[in-house]
Structure 1
Amino acid sequence: MVIVATERKPRTRRPRPAPCEPCKGAGEVSRLVRVGRSRRVIGEQTGMCLACLGTGHASE
């Protein structure tokens, strides 16, 4: 009895999705926090990116 090895097909990887434009792949974006009548800036606040919903990948 002769055992014959079969050829393995090379594995192809799926291409990585492009990073999201607004958050640059981080999944979070920062917004300015404004207060008062003159709407002066007091700091920044981070939140989930609404374009990719926090995944960091561009939606198609």
Structure 2
Amino acid sequence: MATTRKTTTRKTTPAPVPQKCAPCAGTGETTETVRVGSRKGRETTNRQSALCSDCWGTGEALAD
């Protein structure tokens, strides 16, 4: 009588979910206040979007 061979499969673990960047909340962009004037630099009510300087636009926190 022949025994049946059982195949073993490799257990794969899921890839870890990267954490979101704190300053941009995972969007990759932050908002900056527009300043007007060369000497005093008055702030206006207008805002512009800028690339997040912590994650460089990826939205993922850097692994330290």
- TM-score, normalised to structure 1, is 0.79
Report what 1:48 is aligned to.
Answer: 51
Q: Secondary structure at the match of 1:56?
A: coil
RMSD: 2.1
Percent of matched pairs sharing the same residue: 37
Report what 1:59 is aligned to.
Answer: 62
Q: Aligned letter for 2:54?
A: A
Pick closer, same or farther for the CA change 1:25–1:14 going to 2, 3 Å.
Answer: same
Q: Give 1:34 shift.
A: 2.2
Report what 1:30 is aligned to.
Answer: 31
Task: State the Cα deviation string for residues 12-58 of structure 1 (Å, max 9, x = none).
Answer: 01211110000010001011112244713130000110100111011
Q: Secondary structure at the match of 1:16?
A: coil
Structure 1, unaligned runs of 5 or more: none
Pick closer, same or farther for the CA change 1:4–1:14 going to 2, 3 Å.
Answer: same
Report what 1:15 is aligned to.
Answer: 16
- TM-score, normalised to structure 2, is 0.75
Pick closer, same or farther for the CA change 1:43–1:14 going to 2, 3 Å.
Answer: same
